[in-house]
Structure 1
Amino acid sequence: MLIRSAVLTEADGNAVAVENPGGRGDVLLICEHASNRLPEAYGDLGLPTEALVSHIAWDPGALAVAQLMAKNLDAVLIHQRFSRLIYDCNRPPISPAAMRDVSEVFRIPGNENLSEVEKSQRTTALYLPFKGHIAEEIAARREAGRATVLVTVHSFTPVYYGRKREVEIGILHDRDSRLADRMLTAAANTSLYRIARNEPYGAADGVTHTLEVHAIPAGLLNVMIEIRNDLVDDEIGQGVVADFLTGLLRESLAETSDS
């Protein structure tokens, strides 16, 4: 029997992790889908191991890439410590995608027929602290006279609903495309990866929530990066992708400051 009255126990620890909190770089890295860990009280949500290690539970490789980028850029990194199966922190509470009961081919029994109370408990325990940490970091930097460039890091599955995805890195944006435009221009002549704008998702799919909440209203430069997860399934791939993206960001931000 699933117990939902207490979302996180003392043993679970905090919902949010902040790495390199003293980072002096302008970039603030966010990884909403960093972990496939489930809170102790929820067991396995009625899912098989196959599902719990798959992309429906997290973004494989995304945290490792973000951590390497944080080191390269001396950036603060904020990430969620629990699976998006419990709450997807890149979705607002009103979105059906925040607490899905079906993801691709998998039913999620532990998410079926959630009451409004249960949804509120998850929102309070997971989404609000995550949103709060990001907002507090941006506010503190603003008060200190520091710039903030918001960059979210994700990965995506190579095959979705049986369809192979050819794109390898997606540069995503909402209505503010300034940084995405610069990055796409900087990457135009690369032969290392197949790169596309707003692929395999775009703003119309509801994936730019973090950018919409924290960056766009404040006029902050922002971008969402999607990496095909077969490229970052080992340390070598993670390092190559992190170095490539670090270079793109550095070049793009230098051009932005010069213009």
Structure 2
Amino acid sequence: MQSDFPPIETLDGHPESGLILLCDHASNALPEEYGTLGLPPAQLERHIGYDIGARTITHALSAHLRAPAVLTRYSRLLIDPNRGADDPTLVMRLSDGALVPGNARIGHDEIVSRIERFYRPYHKAIADLVNARLERGIVPVIFAVHSFTPVWRGVPRPWHVTLLWDKDPRVARPMIEAFAKDASLVVGDNEPYDGALEGDTLYQHATLRGLPNALIEVRQDLIDTQEGAEDWALRIAYVLSPLIIDPAIRRIEHWGTRTGT
């Protein structure tokens, strides 16, 4: 029996806001009928369950910049909204060495069910928000908040903050340059992941529509407390705020090929 489990969280912003915030991996929660997907509960507290600190940053950014936001309420292990619906990693059977028993033998019908219950409502909420802005003549910046582990497979990651982008550098490049002015920060450009992931959230809602966009990744050991996450939200807001009022950035523009990485 299906539980009453709201798949998304939305935050209101100013109706004229030129920014839409997204948080694909905001939560590690699971509907009651899925239990823990057969995992020890401690596994869900790891990065495989959600992006640690990302929800707190998104909430703080929404408040600072008076911007609307759409966030997931479910774990990425249930289904990953930051993938195309036909991506083989949409439902992970193995994640960072952890076998996910509840996904290991998942069939087509269950994948379709999860898409309809959890994946599509998230993307519909984003599309509705974007469409409402465009219908009012407002071209929004689409900005996704993520976080990454300080160590991956035994190798420390040096970056404090990174910007991921695909073809459109309008938001990512100025943010990289602004963060790099702080000599204490190591700033990544499409590190530790490549921003050119066809079918991901920004591809669907921004790249295909020619909307300015970027994805930020903050290292999790910097934002795993309320204080740390709120501090980084202030840093991000300071860098992002001039971009979301710049008419040269906030216009529809399709980019044929990536200008650099």
TM-score (norm: length of structure 1):
0.91
Structure 2 partner of 1:158? 150
Matched with 2:112 is 120
Percent identity over paired residues: 34
The match for 2:258 is none
1:250 and 2:244 matched: no
Matched position secondary structure for 2:139:
coil
SS, match of residue 190 in structure 1? coil
Q: Given the superposition, is the C-alpha separation of residues 208 and 222 from structure 1 closer, same or farther in structure 2, using an over 3 Å criterion?
A: farther
CA contact (8 A) 1:38 1:44 kept: yes
62-71 or 249-258: bigger deviation: 249-258
Letter paired with 2:216: I
Matched residue, 1:26: 18
Structure 1 equivalent of residue 219 of structure 2: 228
Given candidates 159, 173, 179, the residue that maps to 1:181 is 173
Equivalent-residue separation in structure 1 for 2:249 and 2:212 (angstroms): 14
TM-score under structure 2 normalisation?
Answer: 0.90
- Given the alignment, which residue of 42, 45, 48 partners 1:50? 42
Bigger Cα displacement from structure 2, 248-257 vs 82-91? 248-257
**Counting helix residues as a fraction of each chain, which structure ranks higher?**
1
Decide which of 81, 92, 96 is 1:104's aligned counterpart.
96
Aligned 8 A contact 2:243 2:249 in 1: no
Contact 2:13 2:62 in 1 (8 A): no
The whole-number CA distance in structure 2 between the counterparts of 1:167 and 1:53 is: 22
Q: Deviations over 1:100-157 (max 9, x none)?
A: 0000110001001211101100111111111100000010111112221100000111
Contact kept, 8 Å, 2:133 with 2:139, in 1: the verdict is yes
Q: Secondary structure at the match of 1:223?
A: strand
Q: Which amino acid aligns with 1:102?
A: L
Would you say the 8 A contact 1:169–1:226 is kept in 2? yes
Q: Deviations over 1:74-125 (max 9, x none)?
A: 0001001100010011011211211000001100010012111011001111
Pair 64,199 (structure 1): closer, same or farther in 2 beyond 3 Å = same
Alpha carbon RMSD of aligned pairs, Å?
A: 1.8
Query: In the TM superposition, what is the alpha-carbon distance from 1:217 to its structure 2 partner?
Result: 1.8
Counterpart pick for 2:86 among 91, 94, 102: 94
Tell me how far 1:49 sits from its aligned partner.
2.1
Separation in structure 2 between the aligned mates of residue 207 and residue 81 of structure 1, nearest angstrom: 24
> Is contact 1:186-1:252 (8 Å) kept?
no
CA contact (8 A) 1:208 1:224 kept: no
For residues 175 and 157 of structure 1, do their structure 2 counterparts lie closer, same or farther at Cα, with a shift above 3 Å needed?
same
Relative distance call for 1:22 and 1:251 in structure 2 (3 A) is closer
Asked if the contact 2:150/2:221 (under 8 Å) is kept, the reply is: yes
1:214 aligns to what?
Answer: 205
Candidates 239, 255, 259, aligned match of 2:230: 239
Please list every run of 5 or more consecutive structure 1 residues that lacks an aligned counterpart in the other structure. 1-5
How many corresponding residue pairs?
250
Measured after TM superposition, the shift of residue 212 of structure 1 is 0.6
Partner of 1:9: 3
Q: Report what 2:136 is aligned to.
A: 144
Supply the AA of the counterpart residue of 2:126.
I
